[in-house]
A = this chain, B = another copy of it.
Amino acid sequence: MSAPAVAELRLAVDRELCESCLYYMLLMRELEERIELKLYRQGKIQGGCYTGRGQEAIPVGSALHSRPGDWLTPSHRDMAALLIRGIEPREILAQYMGRATGLTHGRDGNMHMGCARRHCVPIISSIGASIPVAGGLAFAMQYRGEDNVVFNYTGDGASSRGDWHEGLNMAAVMNLPIVYLCNNNLYAYSTPLDKQMKIHDIADRVSAYGIPSEIVDGNDVLAIYGASERAVAHVRSGNGPYFIECKTFRMSGHSAHDPADYVPEELRAQWLRKDPILSLQKRMVEEFGADEQVFVDTRKKVLEEIDEAVNWALAQPYPDPATVEDNVYESI
């Protein structure tokens, strides 16, 4: 299945939209599981291992609205945003395996990936730093009079960083075209929200800048799709930034080495029942009687894609050590 052209999608419980969402959510889920639960344990992955399990709805519901001229600055929980931008699973796998044909050619660590051609800024490790960078990307759009927008992705923890504040304030003052997607997954590493901030909703924080915001169920891809549609319409027409807080939950540890013992059992259980993929499937069954077989087929399709990509990636060469000093400067 290929992604339907975004322009053709309409908000509503549209079958084609649902199928597209399901495909990308499943692709992200399965790709990350393959990485974390299989390849990582087999020692085929270099470095640590982070996933966005349980948060797939956020990159999918939003990035489907992106146009080629837009830019995205995904976080480490937004692999699907890259997939939607046309980055292929095999490139991602080669990246995680530190191969020469990975997205950063083995230069940067697995999920710190992106691609200039597909307008995805590789994840900036310093949490919160992407907010001012999104401002600059948007500034250039405004400078040239384009109606492109930036999709910026961060987590709840990022909202404590100075860069978050400086960047949102500047975007508001300069009326920059940015859609902010905040995944409030209740934790930053082991730190629960109540040690991160005294208020409850990050959206409330955003009024401090005069930026409109809304709160959506971060596990409901259609809700995110709808909110993003409103946001993009607002932003593309020159009304300045827009902020969406997505209430969600990290269905994994912070990374593969984190058992997340600090999460109360009831909380975890409560959220596991809200798995965004299962929720979407349930919705599809309810709303237009989708056949279980479709889900099975989609998953099969996705797994085949991943198998093929894994095989490709495993056959890729490692970077040539002789290139270690290349590309620090254009010329020196």
Taking Cβ atoms with an 8 Å cutoff, the residues of A that contact B are 160-166, 169-170, 172-173, 194-199, 204-211
Closest to A209 in B: B198
Question: Most chain-B CB neighbours within 10 Å: which of A165, A209, A210, A211?
Answer: A165
Q: Say whether A196 contacts B208, CB under 8 Å.
A: no
User: CA separation between A207 and B208, bound complex, in Å?
Assistant: 7
Q: Say whether A204 contacts B199, CB under 8 Å.
A: no
Q: Say whether B210 contacts A208, CB under 8 Å.
A: no
Q: Say whether B209 contacts A207, CB under 8 Å.
A: no
User: CA separation between A209 and B200, bound complex, in Å?
Assistant: 10
How close is A133's CB to chain B, nearest CB, in angstroms? 14
Q: Which of B166, B173, B195, B199 contacts A198 (CB 8 A)?
A: B173
With A169-B198, A207-B207 given, name 18 new contacts (CB 8 A). Answer: A161-B165, A162-B162, A162-B164, A164-B165, A172-B197, A172-B198, A173-B196, A173-B197, A197-B209, A198-B209, A198-B211, A199-B207, A199-B208, A199-B210, A204-B208, A205-B209, A207-B208, A208-B208
Closest to A128 in B: B162
Q: Which of B160, B169, B173 contacts A169 (CB 8 A)?
A: B160
Q: Which of B161, B163, B164, B195 contacts A173 (CB 8 A)?
A: B195
